[in-house]
Structure 1
Amino acid sequence: MSGLKDPRVLFAAERTLLAWNRTSLALIAFGFLVERAGLLLSALAPDHVHASGMVLTFWLGFAFILLGAVSAIYSSRQYAVFLKTLNPAEFPEGYGIRWGMLVNVAVAILALGLIVVLYIGRF
């Protein structure tokens, strides 16, 4: 328990959650970029691209997207654990405290969907 009875503690935690959300989105976008870079290289210079390079960019991009999804889920979990430590006085009346967490979970689910689409499209 924080014992501060100050809603700014909640808002600071929510800002941290949203910072992790941006980090997750950046990792997912970077993973997609890396995965598609292999296709771009094969389109620009088909004679110079090796099959191993295509496989490497696919799995590296896949890993970054998965890392983004995992960080979104884990940060939501951390936020939920933190919310349990707060006093009722630290929650502003009528304030939706779980929206940030829901957005993070939605980002994670969409990232996992992207992984499935990329994996199915690969084979």
Structure 2
Amino acid sequence: MPTPPQPVEQDPRVYFAAERTFLAWIRTGLGLMGIGFAVSRFGLFLRQITAAESHLPARTTGLSLWSGVLLVALGVIVNLTAVYRHFQLIQELSSGTWRPGRVSRDAVVLGLLLAAAGVAMTIYLILVR
């Protein structure tokens, strides 16, 4: 005689899936922080190259520094939001109030922010040759 299916809240695969999603968000946040650090240090690298070649003070806008800092800050926000959402989801699963099929607002907001940053960088690269 087959056993009846467990409620979603008691199925351990649901909790494992929630943990995998949480870890994917943490990876995304760490990636953003790593890219932000590299972008901010790239401006320093360009200043050093310019100073070594021309022996003149390097002219800089500081754009790479601030865009790198913003990416690092965005990575921190993504990680903190991931922790908050993970605790919230586990609590919903434990209490039985979880509803399937909800759109992840966090993912949509992150996608829109990164798309806007990409458009801004594209415009910058076209204007500054």
TM-score category by the smaller chain?
Answer: 0.5 to 0.7
**SS of equivalent to 1:51:** coil
Instruction: Report the number of matched residues.
Output: 85
Which of 12, 15, 29 is the aligned partner of 2:20?
15
Q: 1:86 aligns to what SS in structure 2?
A: helix
Computing the radius of gyration over CA atoms, which structure comes out larger, 1 or 2?
Answer: 2
Aligned partner of 1:45: which letter? T
| TM-score (normalizing by structure 1) | 0.64
Give me the TM-score of the superposition, normalised by structure 2. 0.61
Out of 19, 24, 30, the residue aligned to residue 29 of structure 2 is 24
CA–CA separation in structure 2 for the residues paired with 1:59 and 1:87: 42
State the one-letter code of the partner of 2:34.
A
Equivalent of 2:49, from 36, 44, 68?
A: 44
**Match of residue 76 from structure 2:** 69
| Alpha-carbon distance in 2 for matches of 1:64, 1:87 | 34
Please state how far the C-alpha of 1:44 moved relative to its aligned partner: 1.1
Listed as ranges, the gaps of 5+ residues in structure 1 are 89-123
- State how far apart, in whole Å, the 2-side matches of 1:35 and 1:84 are: 38
Q: 1:90-110 CA deviation, whole Å, 9 max, x = no partner?
A: xxxxxxxxxxxxxxxxxxxxx
Gaps of 5+ in 2: 1-6, 96-129
